Structure 1
Amino acid sequence: MDKHVKIFVALFVSFVIAGFAVAKEGKTISAWDNLDVDFNGFIDVRGGRRLQNDPHQDDTSLAEARLQLDLSRMGNFFTWEMKADFIYDNVMGTSSPNFETGAGNIDLRTANIMFSPLSIVDVKIGKQILTWGTGDLIFINDMFPKDWQSFFDGRDVEYLKAPSDALFLSIYPSWFDINIVYTPRFDADRYISGERLSYWNPMLGDTAGQNAVAKVDKPSDWFQDDEISIRLSREVNGYELTLYGYYGYWKDPYGFDMQSGKATFPKLSVYGGSVRTTVAGGIFNIEGGYYDSREDSFGTDPLTPNSEIRGLIGYEHELARNFTMGLQYYLEVLQDYDSYIASLQDPTRARDEYRHLTTLRLTKMMLDQRLTLSMFVYYSPSDEDGYIRPVVKYKLTDNWLLTTGANIFFGKEDHTFFGQFEDNNNLYVGARYSF
């Protein structure tokens, strides 16, 4: 047996023993009870394999054991929480933890304190998972970091959201709710770099992976390369009305510096709004945003993304008992399109001025809701590409959850968003023990 496999099995057995030791009959151990600390977590083991050969990646797409420990305490004056994943990753191997990228054997998910200095003010400081907006796996005004590598590799959907190091201020006056998030140092997406998934490299004019891992120049100065997000929301006669604002950077390295030969994160501002309400027994939402690419106001720089208008309309409805369907239509409109085309050396791989995207979500729960069948489909008629994500989850007991699923990409061209990932098609299985 390969030594890596032996280590993987040994860790898994150790994690299971640890899980049974600290969680008996669903009760936390007395030591934590005495400290008035809530303690829980899970052990998650997953394996995945590519469905075709990729010359730039290993055939194994996922092979990891993950132990998550979650501790929190609610006090009279403040609440604190700390959540961390301890990981054995047989694909990437052993490395020192990087709490920004999630690489390494420890991924710190949350570490924060929360308090209320006034009756209408809540403050949360530290590492935290943040999300807002109305889209279902489509994000317009949610400018908090995502982890698409985890999502496309077969980890649980909770890992699509990466943590932010931020100050979250919530104010609740009588006329509307105000949320302000200040991030003192830019938090980028955990973007697809080629280490785990192959991607379209425009500098090479080809698909690349471990042979050309992306090199980036990320803004990283504290209190200078910062971000701020603002949300104003109010409910009026059954309508959830929200305004958003963001000042920071593109979350993925969409720019390029010819002098350094590195991808960059150009400056970006976003202004948007959303409405959500009930219609015909379902939930209807509409959301839009203007992406102001501040470093290329006229769209003449081919190495900096143009400004965009983005919008979506969505509807979710329960078609039958324990069977729901969700539909979305999403549109991107590239600004200064003529200038953009004129700036390109090879316009044959140019983006469309209008990018259309539709999504379909189907979810069926069976066997007293112990079995969940779900499928999420993206399809772009303009790019002629798409992505299918079927997932089956079976709750064996209150503690054990079994999962299997796939990530299937297709596309006519290898430079479109989903088309570039065709060599990453994979099938995965997982088992989770929660305590």
Structure 2
Amino acid sequence: MNARSVVGVIWLAGSVLGMAPGALWAAAPDLPEGLGAPASDTAEPSLPAGLGGKTEPEQTNEEPASAALPFRLRGFWEVRGGSRLNDVPHQRDLSIAETRLQLEAEKYLQGATVRLTGDVLYDDLADDRAVDLESGEGAFDLREASLVFSPSADTDVKLGRQILTWGTGDLVFINDLFPKDWVSFFIGRDVEYLKAPSDALKVSAFSGWANLDLVYTPRFDADRFIDGRRLSFFNTGRGRLTGRDAVVLAERPAEAFDDDEWAARLYRNLGAYEVALYGYDGFWKSPAGAEPASGRATFPPLSVFGASLRGPVGAGIGNVELGYYDSRADRDGDDPTVRNSELRLLLGYEQEIARDLTLGLQYYLERMGEFEAYRRTLPSGTPVRDENRHVLTQRLTWLTHSQNLEWSLFLFYSPSDRDAYLRPRVGYQVDDHLSVEVGGNLFFGAQEETFFGQFQDNNNLYLGVRYGF
């Protein structure tokens, strides 16, 4: 049985069980704006911390861990190691080898809250240990440095570095145009690190009719995208898989207040359902173009308009989300150096199918606009993307041993690209402080130029140990 058959059987088996009770563009891989674990023991499953749902922690009167400190302090110490399963000519054998200490400080002031979260990191695979807060590389990564206050009873303001998220997908993002860290996601870091921080101003206004979130980022925050240093990918410019031998160089929009971003969400509840409208104005978050003269990857201008609906469907929770990606630099689709506009659609359903066993299914569509113009102007020899890219996802989560042991299997399968991505994970909560997890990132594909197929050299297994305090 080939790899395609294996993943097809896994997806079909999970689907039947539930019924019982990108491709690369220009010089860099086209990481989808669509790529948590739902709660398995509640009537309404939710996205994991950092990937969806309410992003602001509840303010409580709980005493800090150390009463001697003038602020609340918590954090964790973690060690992670992992190895590739393939011999790769242009990458190291280890996929991850690092230890980090995260400290989170929170101070309640008169009418405001100050939060600081930072990771002190030793990464044995880093080429350069100089601190770079944009890429998260180096000996320190600043995850949050924010000030939160409420100028009125119906308005909240959050200013500074922060983790932002919204939308309805499970590891599939359409209207969430906040930065992602795809390198962390594929090498085995905790899923919380899929979300990269934004330097932004967020204003939330609440009313009896609807609520509004408005986010302004004065300088463009790009994804921490795959550039070949840690993960190999298909380089269209060279027509083959490349890694450390051909690192992507990118021209990033970097002028404050000129290269800025706006994002908005208007949402309200209609009975048991939440409906939302979204808007974004900025740039493609991962490279989606190329500068013809230099060959450097670029981030062309982008606007996105979308909507979502989420609520109970039968015994589970359903969601639908769509977004129109307006590639403003190539609306006619005839510029081969810029990605075309797209329509994106997501349908999802999640249900607890047995005690402590949850199944989640999703269908995702990317439909390219102006496809004929794209084909007509594509340089000779360049792999042709499909007009429609279909992706099916399945998540199975099983909690055992008094819910301290979590078995998780997440599958992405594209019948149009004939490729797949499998994320197995087992996590054990030893006690209130200590946890251990083992997992993997496994890629399959019939062709090396498809989105998941290009990552087959990056197959890896990892082990992580965390002590929280």
Indicate the TM-score class for this superposition, using the shorter chain for normalisation. Answer: over 0.9
Q: Deviations over 1:312-348 (max 9, x none)?
A: 1000000111100000000011000000000112366
In structure 2, how many angstroms separate the alpha carbons of the residues matched to 1:73 and 1:348?
55
CA-CA distance at 1:259 after TM superposition: 1.2
In structure 1, how many angstroms separate the alpha carbons of the residues matched to 2:377 and 2:406?
49
- The answer as to whether partners of 1:376 and 1:388 remain within 8 angstroms in 2 is yes
3-state SS, counterpart of residue 150 of structure 1: helix
Q: Which residue pairs with 1:194 in the alignment?
A: 228
After TM superposition, list the pairs within 5 Å mapping 1:193-342 onto structure 2: 193-342=227-376
After TM superposition, list the pairs within 5 Å mapping 1:270-419 onto structure 2: 270-346=304-380, 349-419=383-453
In structure 2, how many angstroms separate the alpha carbons of the residues matched to 1:60 and 1:243?
43
- CA RMSD in angstroms comes to 1.1
In structure 1, how many angstroms separate the alpha carbons of the residues matched to 2:372 and 2:64?
64
Letter in 1 for 2:460: N
Letter in 1 for 2:213: N
In structure 2, how many angstroms separate the alpha carbons of the residues matched to 1:277 and 1:114?
30
Q: Deviations over 1:179-200 (max 9, x none)?
A: 0000000000000011100011
CA-CA distance at 1:94 after TM superposition: 4.8
- The answer as to whether partners of 2:174 and 2:322 remain within 8 angstroms in 1 is yes
- The answer as to whether partners of 1:374 and 1:391 remain within 8 angstroms in 2 is yes
Letter in 2 for 1:53: D
1:146 counterpart (180, 184, 208): 180
Where do 5+ consecutive residues of structure 1 fail to align? 1-25
3-state SS, counterpart of residue 291 of structure 1: strand
In structure 1, how many angstroms separate the alpha carbons of the residues matched to 2:178 and 2:464?
27
- The answer as to whether partners of 1:46 and 1:430 remain within 8 angstroms in 2 is yes
CA-CA distance at 1:238 after TM superposition: 1.4
Q: Which residue pairs with 1:12 in the alignment?
A: none
Q: Deviations over 1:112-141 (max 9, x none)?
A: 000111111100000000000000000000
In structure 2, how many angstroms separate the alpha carbons of the residues matched to 1:27 and 1:262?
49
2:65 counterpart (8, 12, 28): 28
Letter in 1 for 2:119: D
3-state SS, counterpart of residue 311 of structure 2: strand
Letter in 1 for 2:202: F
Count how many residue pairs are aligned between Structure 1 and Structure 2: 407
- The answer as to whether partners of 2:168 and 2:319 remain within 8 angstroms in 1 is yes
Letter in 2 for 1:123: V
Change (3 A) 1:111 1:27: closer
Q: Deviations over 1:42-90 (max 9, x none)?
A: 0010000000111010001100001000001123310110000000001
Q: Which has the higher contact order (CA 8 A, sep 6+)?
A: 2
Pair 1:104-2:141 in alignment: no
In structure 1, how many angstroms separate the alpha carbons of the residues matched to 2:80 and 2:302?
37
CA-CA distance at 1:174 after TM superposition: 2.0
In structure 2, how many angstroms separate the alpha carbons of the residues matched to 1:30 and 1:237?
43
1:49 counterpart (80, 83, 102): 83
Letter in 2 for 1:308: E
In structure 1, how many angstroms separate the alpha carbons of the residues matched to 2:67 and 2:432?
21
Pair 1:160-2:194 in alignment: yes
In structure 1, how many angstroms separate the alpha carbons of the residues matched to 2:370 and 2:313?
36
CA-CA distance at 1:281 after TM superposition: 1.7
In structure 2, how many angstroms separate the alpha carbons of the residues matched to 1:237 and 1:105?
48
CA-CA distance at 1:258 after TM superposition: 1.4
Change (3 A) 1:201 1:279: same
Q: Deviations over 1:381-418 (max 9, x none)?
A: 00000100000001111110001001000111111110
- The answer as to whether partners of 1:232 and 1:242 remain within 8 angstroms in 2 is yes
In structure 2, how many angstroms separate the alpha carbons of the residues matched to 1:177 and 1:28?
34
Q: Which residue pairs with 1:6 in the alignment?
A: none
In structure 2, how many angstroms separate the alpha carbons of the residues matched to 1:242 and 1:390?
32
- The answer as to whether partners of 2:64 and 2:72 remain within 8 angstroms in 1 is no
In structure 2, how many angstroms separate the alpha carbons of the residues matched to 1:264 and 1:313?
31
1:185 counterpart (210, 215, 219): 219
Identity %: 52
TM-score (structure 2 length as normaliser): 0.86
Letter in 1 for 2:390: H
Q: Which residue pairs with 1:21 in the alignment?
A: none
Q: Deviations over 1:118-173 (max 9, x none)?
A: 11110000000000000000000000000010010000000000000000000012
- The answer as to whether partners of 2:236 and 2:382 remain within 8 angstroms in 1 is no
In structure 1, how many angstroms separate the alpha carbons of the residues matched to 2:382 and 2:446?
14
In structure 1, how many angstroms separate the alpha carbons of the residues matched to 2:272 and 2:399?
29
CA-CA distance at 1:279 after TM superposition: 1.0
In structure 2, how many angstroms separate the alpha carbons of the residues matched to 1:353 and 1:347?
18
Q: Which residue pairs with 1:19 in the alignment?
A: none
Where do 5+ consecutive residues of structure 2 fail to align? 1-62
3-state SS, counterpart of residue 376 of structure 2: helix
Q: Which residue pairs with 1:40 in the alignment?
A: 74
In structure 1, how many angstroms separate the alpha carbons of the residues matched to 2:464 and 2:193?
14
- The answer as to whether partners of 1:111 and 1:126 remain within 8 angstroms in 2 is yes
